[in-house]
Amino acid sequence: MFKATAITLIPEAWPGPLGASILGRARAEGIWDLETVDLRTFGLGKHRKVDDTPAGGGAGLVLRPDVAAAAVDSVQKCPDLSRSVPAMTRPVVYLSPRGRRFDQEMARQWAAGPGVILFCGRFEGLDERAIEARDMQEVSLGDFVLAGGDVAAMAMLEAAIRLLPGVAGNSASITGESFENGLLEYPHYTLPREWEGRQTPPVLLSGDHRRIEEWRISRSKALTFDRRPDLYAAYSETPTPTAPETGDEPD
């Protein structure tokens, strides 16, 4: 079973969208499990203090390393020993805007393993010593800053969990998605065939599966070239790719 652990100051926010739709059903079926650990439980003193002012001055508060490490150690604790041992299987991830950007490849790596431990930060961040001492991997959802790591953690987990066997009803719906082959996904159409003067591309109604596949690949290339030239450059065999065909059906 894939196990996700979220260390957070707002456990009431979980499971959020992870508890609905196919992910919620998969959890109920035992395909994956979620554990939430309240960081406040490990806080110090009467008020369970988890943070303090930044060394060297500055605005905001910083999560204390002793509090953070205690929470991580409680998850990593070996049930047969009285001491905490480093986790050898599940990575410990700290959600941080300065971390490596999360992508589909990382989602696949997580899905192929036994799970992940996610430390959801708050305030100005986490004391660097805790990150180093507990060998945390810093991962970012993107080039922007959130109020905390919980939303980012949920998004990353959704990306990984939906790849687990048995979660998606049709595995073919995953293999053709954006980023799976280095390209953005082609456009989709359904009923009605004509809507507000816009037609479904005739090639999709032709019944010719070879032509349909060619059209979809061509549209994927064109969309990627237009919207994500960085992805297209990596996909293309040529150092400086030229604009691909639009993929429109010929007259």
Mean pLDDT of all residues in 114-143: 95
Domain that holds residue 221: 176-235
Within a domain: residue 206? yes
Within a domain: residue 55? yes
Within a domain: residue 168? no
- Residues 76 and 79: their CA atoms lie apart, in Å, by 9
**Residue % of the chain over a pLDDT of 90:** 78
Contact in structure between 158 and 20 (CB atoms under 8 Å): no
Number of Cβ atoms within 10 Å of the Cβ of 208: 12
> How would you classify the pairing of strands 32-38 and 2-8?
parallel
Amino acid identity, position 193: R
- Residues 162-208 pLDDT 10s: 999 999 865 555 555 555 678 898 999 999 999 999 999 999 999 99
From 104, 126, 161, the end of a domain falls on 161
Q: Is 164 annotated as a binding residue?
A: no
Nearest to 8 by CA among 190, 152, 163: 152
Within a domain: residue 202? yes
Asked whether residue 105 falls in the same domain as residue 81, the answer is yes
Instruction: Find where tokens 């816009």 sit.
Output: 198
Q: Which spans in 125-208 are helix H? A: 128-133, 150-161, 172-175
User: Domain tally for the chain?
Assistant: 2
Q: What are 27's two structure tokens?
A: 């959890």
| The pLDDT of residue 129 is above 60 | yes
Q: What order do you get walking across the sheet with 137-140 strand by strand?
A: 32-38, 2-8, 115-119, 92-101, 137-140
Q: Is 204 annotated as a binding residue?
A: no
Q: Is 121 annotated as a binding residue?
A: yes
Within a domain: residue 21? yes
User: For all residues of the chain together, what is the average pLDDT?
Assistant: 88
**Residue % of the chain over a pLDDT of 70:** 84
Q: Is 197 annotated as a binding residue?
A: no
Amino acid identity, position 171: S
Within a domain: residue 248? no
- Residues 117 and 71: their CA atoms lie apart, in Å, by 11
Burial status of residue 239 (CB atoms within 10 A of its CB: 0-12, 13-18, 19 or more): exposed
Asked whether residue 157 falls in the same domain as residue 108, the answer is yes
The CATH number that applies at residue 91 is 3.40.1280.10
Q: Is 93 annotated as a binding residue?
A: no
pTM comes to: 0.80
Q: How confident is the model at residue 76 (pLDDT cuts 50, 70, 90)?
A: confident
Q: Is 67 annotated as a binding residue?
A: no
Phi, psi of 132 (to 5 degrees): -70, -45
Q: Is 146 annotated as a binding residue?
A: yes
